[in-house]
Homo-oligomer: A and B are copies of this chain.
Amino acid sequence: MMKIYEYKGFPNPARVRIALGEKNATDTVQFVSVDVPNGEHRTPEFLAKNPSGVVPVLELADGTLIAECTAITEYIDQVFAGPSLCGTTPVQRAKTHMMQRRGEAYLLEPVSAYFHHATPGLGPKLETYQNREWGEKQRGRAVDGMRYFDQVLSEHAYVVGDEFSMADITVFAGLLFSDFVNLEVPRECRALPAWRRKMEQRPSVAGCG
């Protein structure tokens, strides 16, 4: 049986839970909780599984370890039936990977940097290096990212055109993380909150937390 090392409710684990939910495959996986608030992700045992020291990590039945949400989602997309998460044609795949990366670089990563550098983050024991100015700068980049995706979603139903994809999951996780750090979507953004309400009605998303 596949295992997923994760911490329930955190944004990156939520991405993999949503992907599994879209494929109706949640029950085929064993979830293993890693005690991130108490630093279990920094232990030698966990770093041997993922040198990045972050959850989630997928472990296949033969012990193969797959980290990074894009890589895990690619795997899930290919081994389970159901709607495509990564795209089926070369153009669709390329657009999906582009927007997936933007979801990370424009929103999830800046929100994370704000959390870890300009707020108490995971607390003084775990936040051993903080650069407050950098964190504040990334806060601004995250808001720019919200405006960018608002614009995208004012023109299309989903982040990649007319079809749901892993990029929607990534942007949604970015908004989950934004909630957690009290970073609000600018009021003039209308399309992004409307899309979010639509996302929250998907069974995969409703069940991810």
Contact = CB atoms under 8 A, between A and B. Distances in A.
A71 interface: yes
A90 B78 contact: yes
| Copies of this chain held together in the complex | 2
Nearest to A87: B74
Interface in A43-100: 51-52, 58, 60, 64, 66-68, 70-72, 74-75, 78-79, 90-91, 93-98
Query: Chain A, interface size: which category?
Result: 20 to 34
A101 interface: yes
A102 interface: yes
B52 A75 contact: no
A131 interface: yes
Contact of A71 (B68, B94, B105, B131): B94
A115 to B, nearest CB: 16
A196 interface: no
A51 B151 CA distance: 12
A58 B97 CA distance: 13
B131 A68 contact: no
A137 interface: yes
Given A94-B66, A98-B68, A129-B137, A105 B75 contact: no
A143 to B, nearest CB: 14
A134 interface: yes
Contacts of A164: none
A179 interface: no
A148 to B, nearest CB: 6
Given A75-B91, A79-B90, A91-B75, A98 B67 contact: yes
Given A64-B91, A64-B95, A74-B97, 7 more contacts: A52-B102, A58-B94, A71-B93, A71-B95, A75-B91, A75-B93, A133-B134
Interface of A: 51-52, 58, 60, 64, 66-68, 70-72, 74-75, 78-79, 90-91, 93-98, 101-102, 105, 129, 131, 133-134, 137, 148
